[in-house]
Amino acid sequence: MLEEIRVHVLDKNRKNLYLRYVDPITGKDVTKSAKTKNLKEARKAAGKWESELRAGRYKSASKVT
């Protein structure tokens, strides 16, 4: 089921590019900054994030204050 995850690079006309995937459990879009405007670096970051998501190693930042 987790093999469905595909991370895409988006240009939202902002300072940096963004990374996006659709959460297979909730069906919601999850985005985060690629922290670069360089497309090659953003694709590399997308691949790294995708492998972390598929392996279950990625833990999002806690939003509890």
What is the per-residue pLDDT across 28-60, written as a single tens digit (0 to 9) for each? Answer: 999 999 999 999 999 999 999 999 998 888 877
- The average confidence (pLDDT) of the chain is 89
pLDDT band at 11 (very low <50, low <70, confident <90, very high): very high
- Cα–Cα dist 53/21, whole Å: 10
Q: How many C-beta atoms surround the C-beta of residue 40 within 10 A?
A: 8
**Contact in structure between 35 and 27 (CB atoms under 8 Å):** no
Taking the domains of the chain in order of start, what are their residue ranges?
A: 2-55
Angle at 24 between CA 56 and CA 4, to 5 degrees: 75
First to last CA, the chain: 32
Q: What is the pLDDT of residue 1?
A: 47
